[in-house]
A and B are shown apart, each in its own frame.
Chain A
Amino acid sequence: MAEHVGIFGGRIPAEVETLSKDLKDLDKELFRKILKVVVSAVEGKDCGEAMVEIGESGSLSEEKLSRIVSGLFKLLREALRFPGSSVKQEGFKEDLRELRISEEFIADFASVVFGNRRSALDAAVTQRGPRLPSLMEFRWRVDVAISTSSLARALQPSVLMQLKLSDGNIHRFEVPVSKFQELRYNVALILKEMNDLEKRSILKIQG
């Protein structure tokens, strides 16, 4: 890369600046534990218990622990912002060296950001971004109306659909056969458009 901007784009946040001082005399095992907790926090899991455990182990003051955790969290969040393909591992390690973090910690960090858990981390981050409700559960039923009060022999098929969305709403509605065909057609059309878009964007919109 011609211009190496660095993961923070020139402005290093305060928590990360002080990180090097706090990490200097930190035990490696303890660092690894804290890093694990921070990773699960980024994934959105509840880490209250783990934090309490580390705090009670006694070797760190509460203040120091909270400074380390916030610095690591910020660092990890920023590192995960860029897709794995556009950040070179060496460049990333250089950035960390500039922050005066020791080598072995850098190695641990790089293994998180470029390791095989990266795609799971990315997926978790995307899920927590702002979204419209997505489909959690989809159930259906096909009915045939044999007769009604207006028609002795109706024989009209229809579809009953139940959608459970991620925001907790359950929508249940009847779909006439013509609308069902329209829905199928539209979904197929969107899929085709998505495929075309993905093929094109590989060629045009580069990193």
Chain B
Amino acid sequence: MAAIVKETQSIKEAVAHINAIDANKFTRLLSRILQKLHLKGERSFSEDEEEKLQTALAMEKQALHLVLETTSFLLEQAVYHNIKPASFKQQLENIQVAPDKAEAFCQAWATAGPDVVEKIRQRIFAPKKLEHVGWQLNLQMGQSSQAKLKAPHAVLDLGVREEDESEHLQNVFVEFSHKELLEFYNKVRLHSFSFPLDCLANAVSHDTYLQTVTHSFLFISFFHSFFLSFAARDDSGSAGLPYLMSLLTFVRANPIISHCYLL
């Protein structure tokens, strides 16, 4: 596997400092950094805590910063490549990290690593994100222009958070009558919407993404056309066959897809 970090001058310096730290303290340092790794923009330690660390590890401010930043960087690279613990240990030893520290890295990564990767994976970029779904069901009994109503209607409260405002949740209220809600539900659960979503959710657990992406879309279109041909068949029952045959020839002709299907 390609090296996840190049051995620059500052890396060499940082590694020298890291090797000098006591093993237990280093393990605690690692787990703390891993906890906060997925939060962007937040430092792993507050000002006070950094000062205490300086005295605890007997390091100057600059050296401490270098150590913290380099450790974070190494862990971030591990996340980026989703590296295996053994491979990680090997790479660290390649940049002259002492064996016991490399072991500490490896252990911490093995225990907390997958969680961190999952948390970072869940983070999505968007100016606005849906955070909260609330609702209220009312039975409208009357109105200034209509007496004796019995119309149920629902209000959906969608809590949307802006990317940069961590406190302020914007509420979007949308009202639906029974008929409108049924239309909305059909749109939201329609096969053309949630079918690819469910398909992709299963498919992306594999590593070869090209195969799975084309796999899922081909899957959808194949079944779609399969059902279409069934729906279109006449009493002889064979009208759908030409459709399927042409689809198969198309699939065979396309090198990428046929590789996936070994046709």
Binds B, one of A45-53, A92-100, A105-113, A167-175: A167-175
Partner of A156, one of B124, B152, B176, B177: B124
Contact A152 B146 (CB under 8 A): no
Contact B120 A134 (CB under 8 A): no
Q: How far is the CA of A144 from the CA of B204 in the complex (A)?
A: 9
Q: 18 A–B contact pairs at CB < 8 A?
A: A125-B146, A132-B155, A134-B180, A135-B180, A150-B76, A150-B123, A151-B117, A152-B82, A165-B174, A176-B122, A176-B129, A179-B131, A183-B130, A183-B133, A186-B133, A187-B185, A187-B188, A194-B137
Q: How far is the CA of A126 from the CA of B144 in the complex (A)?
A: 10
Give the nearest-CB partner of B148 in chain A: A83
Q: How far is the CA of A170 from the CA of B176 in the complex (A)?
A: 17
Contact A140 B193 (CB under 8 A): yes
Please give, as numbers and ranges, the residues of chain B lying within 8 Å of A205 by CB-CB distance: 150
Give A145 Cβ to nearest chain B Cβ, in Å.
7
Partner of A150, one of B80, B144, B145, B182: B80
Contact A191 B145 (CB under 8 A): no
Interface residue ranges, A against B (CB under 8 Å): 77, 80-83, 86, 122, 125-126, 128-135, 138, 140, 142, 144-146, 148, 150-161, 163, 165, 171-177, 179-180, 182-184, 186-191, 193-194, 197-198, 201, 205, 207
Give the nearest-CB partner of B82 in chain A: A153
Give the nearest-CB partner of A188 in chain B: B185
Give B5 Cβ to nearest chain A Cβ, in Å.
14
Q: How far is the CA of A126 from the CA of B185 in the complex (A)?
A: 22
Give A40 Cβ to nearest chain B Cβ, in Å.
16
Contact A134 B176 (CB under 8 A): yes
Binds A, one of B98-106, B195-203, B242-250: B195-203
Contact B121 A154 (CB under 8 A): yes
Give the nearest-CB partner of A122 in chain B: B146
Size band of the interface chain B makes with A? 35 or more
**Given A173-B128, A173-B130, A144 and B185 touching (CB < 8 A)?**
no
Partner of A152, one of B81, B125, B182, B194: B81
Q: How far is the CA of A81 from the CA of B129 in the complex (A)?
A: 43
Q: How far is the CA of A86 from the CA of B146 in the complex (A)?
A: 12
Q: How far is the CA of A184 from the CA of B133 in the complex (A)?
A: 10
Interface residue ranges, B against A (CB under 8 Å): 76, 79-82, 117, 120-131, 133, 135, 137, 139, 143-152, 154-156, 158, 160, 172-178, 180-182, 184-185, 187-189, 193-194, 196-197, 200-201, 204, 207, 209, 213
Contact A133 B197 (CB under 8 A): no
Please give, as numbers and ranges, the residues of chain A lying within 8 Å of B81 by CB-CB distance: 152
Partner of A133, one of B146, B175, B184: B175
**Given A155-B209, A163-B172, A186-B135, A83 and B149 touching (CB < 8 A)?**
yes
**Given A134-B176, A191-B181, A172 and B128 touching (CB < 8 A)?**
yes
Contact A191 B146 (CB under 8 A): no
Contact A156 B146 (CB under 8 A): no
Contact A171 B172 (CB under 8 A): yes
Please give, as numbers and ranges, the residues of chain A lying within 8 Å of B176 by CB-CB distance: 134-135
Partner of A191, one of B122, B155, B185: B185
Give the nearest-CB partner of B193 in chain A: A140
Please give, as numbers and ranges, the residues of chain A lying within 8 Å of B133 by CB-CB distance: 179, 182-183, 186
